[in-house]
Amino acid sequence: MLNKTVWLLLVLSAGAAAQPAAVPLTLKQAVALALAPEGNARWRLAHQLARQAEQRAAQSRAALLPSLEGSLAEQNQTRNLAAFGIRIEAPIPGFRVPDLVGPFTTFDARAAVRQTVLDLAAWRRYQAVRETARAARAEEEAVRDAVAREVALLYLALLRAEARLEAARANVRLAERLLDLARNQKAAGTGTGIEVTRAEVQLANERQQALAAELETRRARLELLRAIGLALDTPVAPASSLEYVPPPEVDLAALREAALRTRADYRAQLLREESARLAASGAAAERLPSVAAFADYGSLGTSLANSLPTRVYGLAVRVPLFDGGLREARRQESRSLYEQERIRTAELRRQIELDIRLAADALASALEQVKVAGEGLGQTLRELEQAERRYRAGVAASLEVTDAQTRLARARENRVAALFLYHRARLELAYAVGGIRQFVEEEKVP
């Protein structure tokens, strides 16, 4: 994983000038930054929640382990025997045992241990919390996948914005060239003033579109920087462009089986279901007797030098008899929670299949759109070349060139949009299968 400190040093070293040059950023680097310990806040929160769940499991396990404690006490006290109903009458006339006894000192040094011998309900509760902790770790992995998907989509959005900006600048350059052509035609006597004005209006429109594309690019870059946890003034630029790459093979049955094996959110849901089952079993086991062993050993006397050893040890058996229906209500509640988790598991399984099918359909559609957009772009380029030649030869008006110019700008936008949809569909398919991070590691996104 890329160290963020190293990355920032790289950025700072590149920024020795007043206006630092943008540092190339690959998709793999962007995802690594987001998943760094100080990266995306959503993943960091999921990591802390997983740690919290593990500590709760440790707390639950403590009920099954020995409990050992020691104490050391020395106290000076008095006792009112009459308060306890103790009155001692002496047979000697004129002599009476006083009601107040003391003061006297006692010294007690003691160690006590307690160990659960048999408590099926406590064991089931620990198993349930342990599965919950495992589910939290799986959920952390699911969040890592979700963050990788989010960063990949934002990176792809930046590529789209850069492509739109490049297309807008190309349209501006074309409009400037056609304006020069209109002015030359007018100077040669084969053009008119309206044609020059029309070319100037077209150039103004293209410049406005370029300004909007610049704003979109800045916004996309800021959103990406926020998602990966870098400062918003960090000068970065995508290290690649929006280009076509061959599509992956799609086998819906194989993809579904792979998703059920690899998707972290599905594993987390299975663990939550198991945790609910164990919790329901533990609630039912609360009706059973429990056995605990205990021991107490220490030294008791009036002082440390005048003390004698004392001890207590034994077994305690607890048998639940009647609790007003509390255990039964708790058992029914835990059973309902288990059924809810089973419903969620079945629904998530169907959702996974739906995600794969939708992503596969979107990929097939986007692939066709890329082909059509590429053909359309080639046709509009040829149309513009022909219209420009006809205009230079004086056999066509500038309006024909302007129309071809407008259609070329639309064709460029269509191709950028089709490429974006195509790569987004590939990302969504990888995420639906549970392989988004492997997809990113292999640099499958341009």
* pLDDT > 80? residue 98: no
Domain boundaries, the chain: 4-68+123-286+330-441
Contact 296, 149 (CB under 8 A): no
* pLDDT > 60? residue 390: yes
State the architecture of 4-68+123-286+330-441 in CATH terms: Up-down Bundle (1.20)
Contact 370, 143 (CB under 8 A): no
- Taking the complete model, does pTM exceed 0.85, yes or no? no
Structure confidence at residue 166 (pLDDT):
93
Place of tokens 């990949």: 152
CA distance 436 to 145: 6
CA distance 299 to 433: 67
Burial class (CB in 10 A: 0-12, 13-18, 19+), 418: buried
* pLDDT > 60? residue 18: no
pLDDT tens for 178-196 read: 889 888 888 888 778 888 8
pLDDT tens for 101-140 read: 778 888 888 898 898 888 888 888 888 999 999 999 999 9
Share of the chain above pLDDT 70, in %: 93
Beta bridge partners of 290: 318
Structure confidence at residue 20 (pLDDT):
60
pLDDT tens for 317-352 read: 988 888 888 888 888 989 999 999 999 999 999 999
Query: Residue range 163-181: average pLDDT?
Result: 91
Q: Left (φ > 0), alpha (ψ -120 to 50) or beta: where does 205 sit?
A: alpha
Structure confidence at residue 445 (pLDDT):
58
Mean pLDDT computed over every residue of the chain: 86
Structure confidence at residue 363 (pLDDT):
93
Contact 288, 317 (CB under 8 A): no
Of the pLDDT bands very low, low, confident and very high (cuts 50, 70, 90), residue 276 is: very high
* pLDDT > 80? residue 158: yes
Structure confidence at residue 13 (pLDDT):
46
Share of the chain above pLDDT 90, in %: 39
Query: Phi and psi (nearest 5°) for 298?
Result: -170, -175
CA distance 189 to 170: 29
pLDDT tens for 198-245 read: 889 989 999 999 999 999 999 999 999 999 888 888 888 888 888 888
